[in-house]
Structure 1
Amino acid sequence: MTIVVASFVCCNSDDHKTGVDDVTDTVKDGTWRVSYFYDSGADKTANYLGYSFVFGGNYLLTATKETNTYNGQWFVSKSTSDNDLYSTIFKISIGPNDIFENLNADWKVMSNTDATLTLKDDSKGETNIDYLTFEKIVQ
């Protein structure tokens, strides 16, 4: 009986903070930057240096670099795909600047803390997985 109780305590899904509400609450708090972006076999983090991202109310997304501001949308939901039935999906849609084209995707939430959100996109197959990490900017 002790083993069963310990299993429930140590494996509580709240510990992972990857639920829809957890992710939504985290990203709506503060300003974020891309701290890691791996796309099509290459590290492309440098493409997003200087950009700050705000995931605002009504699912409005704003990316700013110096005096340039770009608007888009973000959304968090549970996957409806049979392959990813238990995954939380973080959707980004921003533009029209081409630099954001590779961010526009349905990302699976891998981990979520108060300071980082780690995502992956495996829609191109298991051999070509993209990774994206947002880190909260401390002000």
Structure 2
Amino acid sequence: MKKIKLIPLLAMIFMLNVASMCSNDDDSNSLSNSDPVPVINTMSQGTWRITFYEDSGENHTNYFTGYNFTFGTSNVLTASNGVDIYTGIWSVTNSDTNDDSPSNDLDFNILFTSPTNFSDELSDDWDILSRTDTKVELVDVSGGNGGTDYLTFEKN
């Protein structure tokens, strides 16, 4: 029972650590508003689906077909396709908090521990390219291989 309670705590520590490692080297296309509240309010309303996911030039949107995402309170992120339900965590943070060179952008943080497609592909600190009440476009430039990933959520 203690292990079950420990997993969310470890996941939150991971997310805070990821948010603190942000730098301004990938901010050229970021939304330049440093207030996370409007993004949090937008994502907390209704359910969302992934309409585009590209990993280093390869379209893998099909990994997430049929899943609805709920960005809930207490940073709980739920993905469900009617049969399978996966739980992760999410947050929107101002990357200026721990940046050596403040960039005045927001990071959209996602963490799943399973399944592999979710944990390997979605878990990251994404930069926000654009946001409306029904669509959020995210980008991540990998530090390791330098590839660029794109992720788009649209409201159902």
TM-score normalised to the size of structure 2? 0.72
2:111 is aligned to 93
RMSD of the TM alignment (CA)?
Answer: 2.2
Letter in 2 for 1:107: W
Q: CA deviation at 1:122?
A: 1.2
CA contact (8 A) 1:18 1:110 kept: no
| Number of equivalences | 123
Q: CA deviation at 1:98?
A: 0.5
1:73 aligned onto 2:92: no
CA contact (8 A) 1:17 1:23 kept: no
1:21 is aligned to 37
TM-score normalised to the size of structure 1? 0.80
Check 1:93–1:51 CA distance in 2 against 1; reply closer, same or farther (3 A cut).
Answer: same
SS of aligned partner of 1:117: strand
Q: Distance in 1 between matches of 2:101 and 2:145?
A: 13
CA contact (8 A) 1:18 1:112 kept: no
Which runs of 5 or more residues in structure 2 are unaligned? 1-31
Which runs of 5 or more residues in structure 1 are unaligned? 1-15
Check 1:124–1:113 CA distance in 2 against 1; reply closer, same or farther (3 A cut).
Answer: same
2:78 is aligned to 62
Higher helix share: 2
Q: Distance in 1 between matches of 2:148 and 2:102?
A: 15
Higher strand share: 1
